Structure 1
Amino acid sequence: MSGRALTRLVSLAAVLAIGGLVVPDSAVHPTRISLTEVETARTVDFADDVVWILVLGSDEEGNTDAIHLVGLNIPSRRAAGIGIPRDFWMEFPDGSDRINAALKVGGEGLVLDLVAGLVGITPHYLVIAGFDGFRDLVDTVDGVTVEADEPVPDLGVRRGPNDFDGAEALAYARTRDVTGDDFARSAHQQDIMMGILRRLLAREDEEGFIEGGALAALQGLDTNLAPTDLYRLAQAVTQIRPDRVTTCVLTGTDDITSGGAQVLIPDEAAAQRIGDDVRNDARVDRGC
């Protein structure tokens, strides 16, 4: 592979794996993106195994309001995305709280443990990104097209295809003014991910396009991956075909805590079933 081809491959991987899979929420703050190799990644064979990436969108207070577990199956060029609603009420070491508080309360280890316990899948990589990275990425790819299943009049969103710039995509990803509230919100984030993936792959051969997108995604990058490991992850991401991506949002029931907070109680049996479904092939076969 030529040096230029390698640069473009790593650049595209950075955009997709770091920027394109993240839809954070909350106040604007400087772009910060971290890509961390978890201990389990050392046992991964990219040629045979499904690679799992936990993607978090974090605000400046440390709340993770976008939580998605993404699986990449390289031999079949498939991927699966599992959305985890931010309001899931989970057991922490010192009590209970919403899962979106886990990063702030217990750091990366707690988030990884909670997701692994809920779905039964231990991530190999962890991506954490902020608000600006998402907005800049959407604008860098000249916007995305998203199919809305219902109108959102306050945002000017109509049922059917909508073209969003970065600010509009973020507003759509954040809104709760939709049927299904937190579940729909997570599904909208997945729709935007797919819109970014399709736009990137459609334009990857344009001179300078991928390099420009990579610069937007790599601002403030902090990673513990060696260059060879980043290259391997790059190969994994760029092999995925958009028409072979399946998604699911975990389900739960509304509840009110003793303090009066509205939360969601995850359906743990359903979460384990979905984990069993996608673990070995990164394909949602049995629905949510």
Structure 2
Amino acid sequence: MTTSRQNKRKNKTRRKILYTVLIVAMVLLSGVIVFATNLSFQTKNAVNKIYEPLDREKEEQNEAIEKFDNAKAEDSAFTILLAGIENEEKAKYGRSDVLLVATVNPKTNKISMVSIPRDTRVYIPDLGYNDKINHSYANGGINYTINTIEEMLDIPIDYYVSTDFQGFEDIVDTVGGIDVEVPFTFKAQLTGSLKWKTYTEGPMELNGNEALAYVRMRKSDPQGDIGRNNRQKQVIKEIIDRGTSISNITKIDDMIEDIGNNVKTNIPSSEYLGLIKTYQKIKSSPIEQLQLKGVDDTRRGVYYFIPDEEGLEELSEQLKLNLKDFGNNAQTDSKKSTKVTDLTIGE
């Protein structure tokens, strides 16, 4: 009799514990849903400040959005252009100082990345002649630049993020600064204060103003543009890692609000959280660092970087390879398709 009563008490206690656990779980789940809904709503409002579709998207807005939504549902690969803009007084657009193209494939967990030197001599289709690639932005903004890069690399550019120098500083400061591995000791002049900053070989923590000087310095780099491009890639990856961290995701609406006056993108607000999840999934994978091969040249007293035609074709093929859909066995199939990983063209 006593044993039976004890068993009943134990069962009651277990039920109470179970009910308590279920209630706590439901409260936590409700909190997550409310937070996610609120975050999405706030992000959508904040992103209106930075959303700037391309001209071709304005003409076919519904078709472009539908196409992207279908692609995202299938985890298709995509391309993104990161453009750093040097604003000039009395200039409508300024000039592109940094151009970095990345292809992202969620199925193969792979990112391929290449920097295009600002003095690269290319054909600018909207102008109808060859010139420095940064002049494409100076003449027609991001639309001319994307058309030029698509012509040059023979790949589509799905998305872009452009920022001026102040926007770049704001981004770095908003994510709490960045940690970099300085390849060699050098000095660079900071914008605004014009003070000289010493960057010591090894790990360093940089704020926005310091990070800008770090990625812009070229003359003291023994590798010239190649070294500068490598530092740009290093900083971009660190910014994305910081920006997509759990601690910063909760502040995404504030982050967008802070950078809204100096950053533009054609990424719809509805896709922000999805892209963050995609990057969190693949960010631990090594980035395939590609390099554009070419030679320095001076024509009529003007410096140009002339791309090597064979190297450019090889670079284009590597980028296209990362955009291919390898199906369900993506990792295995991609390894069969190429024996080269972390390829650097032209080094």
* TM-score scaled by length of structure 1: 0.79
Matches within 5 A, 1:215-226: 215-219=257-261, 226=268
- In 2: Cα distance, 1:118 partner to 1:112 partner: 10
Q: Secondary structure at the match of 2:295?
A: strand
Match of 1:26 in 2: none
Say whether the 8 Å CA contact 2:291–2:344 is kept in structure 1: no
**1:78 Cα offset (Å):** 2.7
Quick one: which of 223, 227, 231 aligns to 1:184? 227
1:86 to 112, 118, 122: 118
What is the match of residue 16 of structure 2? none
Partners of 2:66 and 2:215 in 1: how far apart?
33
CA distance in 2 between counterparts of 1:242 and 1:196 reads 14
Match of 2:96 among 58, 61, 64: 64
CA change 1:208–1:244 in 2 (3 A) is same
1:287 aligned residue: 344
Q: Look up the match of 1:163.
A: 205
- Which consecutive unaligned segments of at least 5 residues does structure 1 have? 19-31
Shift of 1:34: 5.1
Percentage of pairs with the same residue:
24
Give deviations 1:134-169, integer Å, cap 9, x for gaps.
101211222111112222145311222221111110
Write the distance in 2 (CA, Å) between the matches of 1:187 and 1:54. Answer: 16
Q: In 2, Cα distance between the equivalents of 1:10 and 1:145? A: 31
Partner residue in 2 for 1:28: none
* Worse-superposed segment, 66-75 or 148-157: 148-157
Q: Whose radius of gyration is greater, 1 or 2?
A: 2
Query: In the superposition, relative to structure 1, how do residues 256 and 11 fare at CA in structure 2: closer, same or farther (>3 Å)?
Result: farther
Give the CA deviation at 1:33. Answer: 4.8
1:105 maps to which of 133, 139, 145: 139
- Partners of 1:220 and 1:50 in 2: CA distance: 28
Mark the CA change 1:7 to 1:234 in structure 2 (over 3 Å): closer, same or farther. farther
- 1:4 corresponds to: 35
Worse-superposed segment, 236-245 or 54-63: 236-245
Q: Which moved more, 1:244-253 or 1:223-232?
A: 223-232
Is the 8 Å Cα contact of residues 86 and 99 (structure 1) preserved in structure 2? Answer: yes
Unmatched segments (≥5 aa) in structure 2 = 1-31, 58-63, 89-93, 189-196, 324-333, 335-339
| Residue 116 (1) aligns with residue 150 (2) | yes
Moved more, 42-51 or 65-74: 42-51
1:73 paired residue among 100, 105, 124: 105
TM superposition shift of 1:91: 2.6
The Cα of 1:82 is off from its aligned counterpart by 1.3
Q: State the SS of the aligned residue for 1:156.
A: strand
Q: Deviation of residue 287 (structure 1)?
A: 2.5
Which structure has more helix as a fraction of its residues? 2
Matches of 1:243 and 1:217, distance apart in 2? 28
Counterparts of 1:106 and 1:167, CA distance in 2 = 28
Hey, what does 2:77 align to over in structure 1? 50
Instruction: After TM superposition, give the deviation of residue 243 of structure 1 in Å.
Output: 3.4
Greater length-normalized contact order (CA 8 Å, ≥ 6 residues apart) = 1
* Cα separation, 2, equivalents of 1:219 and 1:114: 26
Take 1:237 and 1:268, find their aligned partners in 2: how far apart are those partners?
32
Which TM-score applies when normalising by structure 2?
0.67
Between the two proteins, the alignment pairs up a number of residues equal to 271
Task: Decide whether aligned partners of structure 1 residues 116 and 4 sit closer, same or farther in structure 2, where only a CA change above 3 A counts.
Answer: same
3-state SS in 2 of match to 1:186: helix
Distance in 2, matches of 1:79 and 1:216, equals 28
Equivalent of 1:127, from 132, 157, 161? 161
